[in-house]
Amino acid sequence: MNCPPARYLLFFQYFGTKYSGVMETLTDQPMLGVQNYLERAAQKLRPVTPIKFYISSRTDAGVHALCNSAHVNIQRAAGKLPFPESIIVSALNHHLKPEPIRILSAYRVSENFHARFSALSRTYVYRLVTGCSHHSQIPVFERDLCWAPRGDGLRFWELEFKSRSFLYKQVRRMAGALVAVGQGKLAPSHIKELLECRDPLAYPLNTIAPAAGLFLKSVEYDEAAVEEEGNAAE
């Protein structure tokens, strides 16, 4: 008889430029999701049943993650003990090569733990570089990692947003609105009107910040609860 599956909480990061987003897509699409590559790597662990990543936080095409999270169930063949967390990390990173995706850490949790619903908050960072009259002025290692609206004086800015959850494109809308006010395209009174009407269709589409500057910085959990989950799982 096969052993019951072991559940793990995984933290991972990626450069989102070449992906359709973090979520899985059909394999015949020109751009795949980060989840496609994670699950492909996980199948190399030879589980008894297919592995599915339950991802805590969606990110769109071109958006990056310094740290996203997911939980997975891994069932091994009869007589084989669950993988240690360190083996999960090293094995998945080996099979993810050469993709710009990396597993940061893994924690054994109980079967009741859910990466999405157990999260206390998500933190996003939006990176801006001002003062570029042309895209070629951005340092090579910063391209596809920031938004460069025109302005005077080369400066880097980081806008940080933290909440339990976010609406679709909410952070990009907020960052775009702040830049639009700074550029005189929107007045502060317009921001108040947009907040009060609570209608996403009322938001000016040409002021939504591009995906390249957005990073999911972290997903926060109750550390004591995660540790208790691990003890319960063992």
Asked if the structure places residue 1 within a domain, the reply is no
**DSSP H helical ranges for 3-110:** 34-42, 85-96
Closest CA to 119 of 172, 63, 164: 164
Query: Global pTM?
Result: 0.88
Beta bridge partners of 60: 21
Establish whether 152 is a catalytic residue: no
Asked if the structure places residue 42 within a domain, the reply is yes
Are 109 and 233 spatial neighbours (Cβ–Cβ below 8 Å)? yes
Q: In this predicted structure, what is the pLDDT of residue 198?
A: 78
CATH assignment of the domain containing 94: 3.30.70.580
Question: What's the rounded mean pLDDT across residues 119-126?
Answer: 96
Q: In this predicted structure, what is the pLDDT of residue 133?
A: 74
| 47-92 tens-digit pLDDT | 999 999 999 999 999 999 999 999 999 999 888 889 999 999 999 9
Asked if the structure places residue 10 within a domain, the reply is yes
Range of the domain at 79: 6-118+218-233
Are 207 and 176 spatial neighbours (Cβ–Cβ below 8 Å)? yes
State residue 192 phi and psi, 5-degree precision.
-60, -40
Q: In this predicted structure, what is the pLDDT of residue 104?
A: 97
d(CA 177, CA 57): 23
At residue 152 the predicted structure's pLDDT band, cuts being 50, 70 and 90, is low
* Cα Dmax for the chain: 68
d(CA 131, CA 133): 6
Q: Which of 60, 144, 152, 222 is catalytic?
A: 60
State residue 102 phi and psi, 5-degree precision.
-140, 135
Same domain, residue pair 12 and 103: yes
- 18-26 — which CB contacts under 8 Å span 24+ positions? 18/100, 19/61, 20/61, 21/58, 21/59, 21/60, 21/61, 21/63, 22/55, 22/57, 22/58, 22/59, 22/63, 22/65, 22/68, 23/55, 23/58, 24/53
Asked if the structure places residue 166 within a domain, the reply is yes
- Tell me which range, 93-102, 135-144, 203-212, is most confidently predicted by mean pLDDT: 93-102
Same domain, residue pair 14 and 105: yes
Q: Which residue has the higher pLDDT, 137 or 172?
A: 172
Same domain, residue pair 92 and 166: no
Same domain, residue pair 114 and 161: no
Same domain, residue pair 213 and 223: no
Asked if the structure places residue 156 within a domain, the reply is yes
Total domain count, the chain: 2
Token pair 């109750």 is at which residue?
222
- Which residues neighbour 199 within 8 Å (Cβ) at sequence distance 6 or greater? none
Q: Is the pLDDT of residue 154 over 80?
A: no
Query: Strand, coil or helix: what is 54?
Result: strand
Are 20 and 28 spatial neighbours (Cβ–Cβ below 8 Å)? no
Asked if the structure places residue 32 within a domain, the reply is yes
* H or E, element range at 215: strand 214-220
Mean pLDDT for all residues in the chain: 89
Q: Is the pLDDT of residue 45 over 70?
A: yes
Same domain, residue pair 19 and 76: yes
